[in-house]
Structure 1
Amino acid sequence: MKPLLSYLIFITLAVTSQCVFAKQSTTPHRVVVSGGSITEIIYALDEQQRIIGVDSTSVFPAQAKEKPQIGYVRRISAEGVLSLNPDLVIGEADTGPKKVVEQLKQTGINLVIFDENDNLGGIENKIKKIANLLNVDQKGDALAQSLQVDRDALSYILQQTTIKPRVLFVLSVRNSQPIVAGAGTSADELINAAGGINVAANAINNWKPLSTEAALAINPDVIITMGRHGDDPLVKLEKLAHFKFSNAVKNGQVHSFDGSYLLGMGPRTPQAVVELAHTFHPSAQLPQGYQYRFAPSANNVTAQLSEY
């Protein structure tokens, strides 16, 4: 009995190992994405032919908007996802609602939701994780390494100055009230990384409305805002009572950045932070030979541009 038992155990383990190996070695070909930075990374890996559906935050590159839609990242549709018959669904941490995510899990679909919050320091790791899911690890390593030139350029700028401008980050304006970045936001992290001081960080946490009185009191030197859908937020902010007497408006230091470029925490974000730092410190020099690879936001930047 013992030899027979040993043989059966061996066969069982062998079959199990083959099943596990087959599962790990399977390359997904029908990928649905919930999260703009994930879509951007897959395009940067040159694996976009696998994407069969995206959420509405997947706006870069422009071709991504032509893919079938599954809804907004926080409000995706289970029916929309399942109707596409994906063999892999990848979502950012804020993919929701939770009820829909649970519904997708119960179907047994291959679902991967990143559980960590996006941050500037974690972009390379996110790239490698996505490349691993697609079984293109070498491409992931190469893309992650390509961002080092931006990391080095940022350090080069910051080494040239000790001045830290007082910066206010305005996400949007709702009912004539600016929504600004407080402590604990991605914008707060990027302001600090680019050598600025977030003037709202001591007063508020997260994204909050800013009163006229509070805006007058903090009087920012620089205002960064998001440009969207052809709007001109610079004019709107300059006319608001909150800012029209501020140092930023008086000195022409109101700058608009594309939201997915700066806050997306995708492959373009390290370059965007270089641009942000150069906006804060315009007299600083970029490293010799450094070129912006993607379309910059600021009016005073001239660059060679590329798109995936």
Structure 2
Amino acid sequence: MLALVPVLALLVACGGGAPEGGDDPAAPGGPTLADVQPVADPHSYVGPSTARLASASVDPIAENPEPELPLTVTDAQGTSVTVHDASRILALDLYGSTARTVYELGLGENLVGRDTSSAFPEVSHLPLVTPSGHELNAEAILELAPTLIITDTSLGPWDVVLQMREAGIPVVVVDAERSLETVDDLIRQVAAAVGLPDEGEALAERTQERIDTARAEIAEIAPPAGEGLRTVFLYVRGGSGIYYLFGQGSGTDSLITGLGGVDVATEIGWTGMQPVTDEGLIAMQPEVVLLMTKGLESTGGVDGLLEAVPALASTPAGENRRFVDMADTEILSFGPASAEVLEALAVALYAPDAAQVAS
């Protein structure tokens, strides 16, 4: 599988990250699948919708766990790292996955700062170490005196990470690949870094069980196999003129199939992330377009997006204004909240009248 990170990180570095205020998640309180009545035919539904988590609260697997320290781990880059102290942790990545994982392992009180994408309520008060979008700030990090940094290659500049190591701070680099298939591995890597392998195993198993349950519930209301909604994921930053379609190996393919949809980018051999082309969109003929909320807002909403990408009007998604957006910090988080993300998106797809309507 191709990693989601390289192109997306490049887009962020080039000004394609979250617009101002992009770290604000949608207000929780969306309906669950048990609360809604699916539409009779999701293929013919007309209108946009916004996916909202039923709850944004974390659910720690343990209370006041005791990390097994000191420890030495070999991280995702093959670097041997010795950790003596996990009392002041920075868990940083482009998706907010690592901070959420630390919190769900039971060490939320040990987090001393956050990145822009870590915006769930329990950490939203913590100081940012990425004050300029998604760019790591060395001074902001050092001011927090972390005893452990857990990160991946999705944030930069990388020189800042190296600078932290030179300053004597243990830095554990976890795998940057993100998809529904890598959630359990990420949890175990983070757990190993903080000295909670047993809690990590329990959290990985619980998360996978919840994902499996969500998929089973979605399968009951989604169209039969092979007849799912033809869906694409569009990464949009209107102010920067960035319009990318995510394809096979990007991570979004696992999200779409998990929702019972047909990932049409994969179907036509569209791999990784590539700039939108009129020919590509028209060949795909998507019925649904998934987007980040701030990305959609950056174009001026649905009307602005249709104006910016005229080829969309020649697809069923454009004709039916079938755009489903979700908070930037949630839709690609691929962590302990993955089941909740699936459920929220499923409500927006299959019971859109119950979902908040996008503008």
TM-score, normalising length: structure 1: 0.73
Structure 1 residue aligned with 2:78: none
Structure 1 residue aligned with 2:318: 249
> How do 1:77-96 residues align onto structure 2 when only pairs under 5 Å count?
77-96=137-156
Report how far residue 210 of structure 1 moved: 1.3
TM-score, normalising length: structure 2: 0.64
Conserved? CA contact 2:285–2:316, under 8 Å: yes
Structure 2 residue aligned with 1:295: none
Of 149-158 and 108-117, more deviation after overlay is shown by: 149-158
Q: State how far apart, in whole Å, the 1-side matches of 2:124 and 2:214 are.
A: 31
What amino acid sits opposite 1:257 in the alignment?
M
Structure 2 residue aligned with 1:191: 256
Structure number with greater Rg is 1
| Inter-CA distance 153–230: structure 2 relative to 1 (3 Å threshold) | closer
Conserved? CA contact 1:31–1:87, under 8 Å: yes
Q: State how far apart, in whole Å, the 2-side matches of 1:243 and 1:110 are.
A: 48
Q: Name the SS for the 2:112 alignment partner.
A: strand
Q: How many residues align?
A: 266
| Inter-CA distance 194–122: structure 2 relative to 1 (3 Å threshold) | same
| Inter-CA distance 137–115: structure 2 relative to 1 (3 Å threshold) | closer
Q: Report % sequence identity.
A: 22
What amino acid sits opposite 1:223 in the alignment?
V
Any idea what the Cα deviations from partners look like across 1:32-52, whole Å, max 9, x if unmatched?
A: 221211112223334221111
Q: State how far apart, in whole Å, the 1-side matches of 2:199 and 2:133 are.
A: 26
Any idea what the Cα deviations from partners look like across 1:129-188, whole Å, max 9, x if unmatched?
A: 323433444543443333213312303433662213221211114366632212321212
Structure 1 residue aligned with 2:103: 43
Report how far residue 299 of structure 1 moved: 5.6
Q: State how far apart, in whole Å, the 1-side matches of 2:163 and 2:85 are.
A: 24
1:218 to 284, 307, 317: 284
Q: State how far apart, in whole Å, the 2-side matches of 1:127 and 1:107 are.
A: 27
Structure 1 residue aligned with 2:228: 164
Q: State how far apart, in whole Å, the 1-side matches of 2:158 and 2:242 are.
A: 30
1:300 aligns with 2:358: no
Report how far residue 86 of structure 1 moved: 1.1
Q: Name the SS for the 2:233 alignment partner.
A: strand
Cα RMSD (Å)? 3.1
Conserved? CA contact 2:85–2:148, under 8 Å: no
Extract unaligned runs of 5+ from structure 2.
1-67, 72-82
Q: State how far apart, in whole Å, the 2-side matches of 1:34 and 1:23 are.
A: 22
Q: Name the SS for the 2:354 alignment partner.
A: coil
1:30 to 71, 75, 88: 88
Report how far residue 211 of structure 1 moved: 2.8
> How do 1:254-265 residues align onto structure 2 when only pairs under 5 Å count?
254-265=323-334
**Higher relative contact order structure (alpha carbons within 8 Å, sequence separation ≥ 6):** 2
| Inter-CA distance 101–248: structure 2 relative to 1 (3 Å threshold) | same
Q: State how far apart, in whole Å, the 2-side matches of 1:233 and 1:119 are.
A: 27
What amino acid sits opposite 1:263 in the alignment?
L
Extract unaligned runs of 5+ from structure 1.
1-20, 284-297, 303-308
Structure 2 residue aligned with 1:155: 216
